[in-house]
Amino acid sequence: MPQRFIDESQIAHARAKAAQIIAPVFDFIDRHTTASIERTVLRLYGIDGAGPRGVPLANALVDRLQAAGVLDKGAAYWLGRALMMGAQSPVDAVDKLLRLPIDQLSPASPEEERELREMMRQEARAAFDELIARCERRRQLRNELGVPGTPQKYVIVATGNIYDDVEQAKAAAQSGADIIAVIRSTAQSLLDYVPHGATTEGFGGTYATQENFRIMRAALDEESRRLGRYIQLTNYSSGLCMPEIAFCAAYERLDMLLNDAMYGILFRDINMRRTFVDQYFSRRIAAATGIVINTGEDNYVTTADAFEAAHTVVASEFINEAFAKRAGLDDWQLGIGHVYELDPAIPQSFLLDLAQALLVRECFPDAPLKYMPPTKHKTGDIFFSHAYDLMADIAAKWTGQGIQLLGMMTEAMHTPLMMDRYAALKGADYVYRAFDGIADEVQIRPDGKIAARARQVFDEALRLLEEVAQSGLMAAIGEAKFGDISRTETGGKGLDGVVERASDYFNPLLDILEDPALTRVARPLKG
């Protein structure tokens, strides 16, 4: 039985406050759509190609509908109108809509309207069933080959060239990695479109495209069969294209997505109205297709002091959990993020970081949790860096983290080389063996420093949740309550892509995703 430091009623109170905090945000979400959501709907109908100059067809049509002031009815409605008027396929319908002035589309009669909506619902359901079937293939392969116990070892590749990424990912898997994350090209989160096709010239990472997802998943499936264990794949569903990337990732059978509106708001200056609406839709896709999301609270203590701001991480985790549950995600899909990031010069820093990790595990006992390595206080001293990372490995094993991003000895110097990953993986393997069972053998003193720190951080987090419940989440972000960064409700990038829904707004994909009888991908068997 795990030790408990916080009264269960207090944890329940924190959850109630988080639910209160997100309620006004959902009042906005339920009345709005976005350009990226409508593009995602078009992708469901098979609109995934690009036109002249590489502009994705989904972007071209949504931009056209928005400029005409009719996107509020939903892209699916207009696609259906074109099909009802003689278009031979969804792609042909897009072509007609791009060439025909929207005001020349005659209004549908009530009977035509019913026929249109029924036709588009049937097409959407068939396409969604195909999506679920693809995701079931992923689950079956995972169950056939199995995955290791926790913490699962998570490493990154980031060459800019998807074909080079494949070779590095295979090498990492051969060295013992359980999860491969393909880092996205620098600032891709600020692009209001998903690039089309395979890419070989990213900057600090590789562009997240559906074709790149397909290439990497196919390579890792092959390597999984060769190694006799399933290798999981992660990418980023954040920024201005959260729903589209979530759909592409689900279609190409990715296992995890970094998905967090707060990260985009604070660290990429994405407009909060836009990204809260997009986050809900993207998480509905993840919930239905069995994808694990990872959140980004760990970033708060890279811009704020990790000792003083520890409570902001925990408060945000409760808020993020509330958003996730409202979107239909189960506990096993919540890779809630936190980090080993205290200044190593602080006396007893390991005890304090252990307290934080134990607290997060106690607050979210059924979530896998994603534990991040230290980065902020790293230097060019690779020997110290490797030792510092091993401290995080110990804390991860001791506290039962589910997903651990391994630190690299060259973190402060350059993108990791294959040898850096090898050293990190072998070090983690040693720690996991050496510390196996320590939580069962060693009891934390209820009146000691670790327990006291855990209670202090929780109490401060609860006070912050109570404050945010009073002021509202968007106002609290404006007051720099998280990460010491202030953003405004109407500031940032992407607000022009937010559209208030018409009274007859039509989105058959949203209807499917919100249906309680939804077909979902079942939870994978444990490794």
Structure tokens that stand for 16 in this block = 């109630």
**pLDDT tens, 453-495?**
999 999 999 999 999 999 999 999 999 999 999 999 999 999 9
Task: List strand residue ranges (DSSP E) for 203-317, in order.
Answer: 232-236, 256-258, 292-294
In angstroms, rounded to a whole number, what is the distance separating the alpha carbons of residues 125 and 127? Answer: 5
Tokens of 134: 């693809």
Which residues lie below 8 Å from residue 295, measured CB to CB, with a gap of 6+? Answer: 258, 259, 260, 262, 263, 317, 320, 334, 335, 336, 337, 370
Cβ-proximal residues to 233 (8 Å cutoff; 6+ apart), any chain: 179, 180, 181, 182, 213, 216, 217, 220, 253, 254, 255, 256
338 — phi, psi (to 5°)? -155, -175
What backbone phi and psi angles, to 5 degrees, belong to 78?
-70, -35
Residue 285 sits at φ, ψ, to 5 deg, of -65, -45
Q: Kindly report, residue by residue over 74-108, the tens digit of the pLDDT.
A: 999 999 999 998 899 999 999 999 988 877 776 77
Active site residues: 263, 298, 370
CA distance 226 to 12: 46
Q: What share of the chain is helix, strand, coil (3-state, %, to 5)?
A: 55, 10, 35
Spatial separation of the C-alpha atoms in residues 186 and 355, rounded to whole Å: 34
Q: What is the reported pLDDT for 414?
A: 78
Written in H, E and C, the secondary structure of 287-330 is: HHHCCEEECCHHHHHHHCCCCCCHHHHHHHHHHHHHHHHHCCCC
pLDDT of 384 reads 95
Q: Cα–Cα distance between 504 and 285 in angstroms, integer?
A: 23
State in Å, rounded, how far the first CA of the chain is from the last one: 21
Going residue by residue through the chain (527 aa), what tens digit of pLDDT does each one get? Answer: 578 999 999 999 999 999 999 999 999 999 999 999 999 999 999 999 888 888 999 999 999 999 999 999 999 999 999 999 889 999 999 999 998 887 777 677 889 899 999 999 999 999 999 999 999 999 999 999 999 999 999 999 999 999 999 999 999 999 999 999 999 999 999 999 999 999 999 998 999 999 999 999 999 999 999 999 999 999 999 899 999 999 999 999 999 999 999 999 999 999 999 999 999 999 999 999 999 999 999 999 999 999 999 999 999 999 999 999 999 999 999 999 999 999 999 999 999 999 999 999 999 999 999 999 999 999 999 999 999 999 999 999 999 999 999 999 998 787 788 899 999 999 999 999 999 999 999 999 999 999 999 999 999 999 999 999 999 999 999 999 999 999 999 999 999 999 999 999 999 999 999 998 888 898 887 65
Residues 6 or more apart in contact with residue 344 via CB below 8 angstroms: 374, 377, 388, 391
- Please give the radius of gyration of the chain, using alpha carbons only, rounded to the nearest integer: 23
Residue with tokens 């506990």: 331
Q: Are 341 and 372 in contact (CB under 8 A)?
A: yes
The whole-angstrom separation of Cα 458 and Cα 6 is 8
- Helix axes of 162-174 and 210-227: crossing angle, nearest 10 degrees: 30
Nearest to 141 by CA among 46, 223, 28: 223
Q: Does domain 147-454 have CATH number 3.20.20.440?
A: yes
- Domain spans of the chain? 147-454
- Name the residue among 408, 385, 502, 360 with its Cα closest to residue 71: 502
Length of the chain: 527
CB 240 within 8 A of CB 494: yes
- Neighbouring residues of 385: CB distance < 8 A, sequence distance ≥ 6: 378, 379, 407, 408, 409, 410, 411, 412
d(C-alpha 472, C-alpha 193), whole Å: 31
Nearest to 149 by CA among 509, 520, 428: 428
Reduce the DSSP state of residue 215 to 3 states and report it: helix
Contact 395, 416 (CB under 8 A): no
Q: In what order do the strands lie in the sheet with 334-335?
A: 334-335, 292-294, 256-258, 232-236, 179-182, 152-157, 403-405, 370-372, 337-339
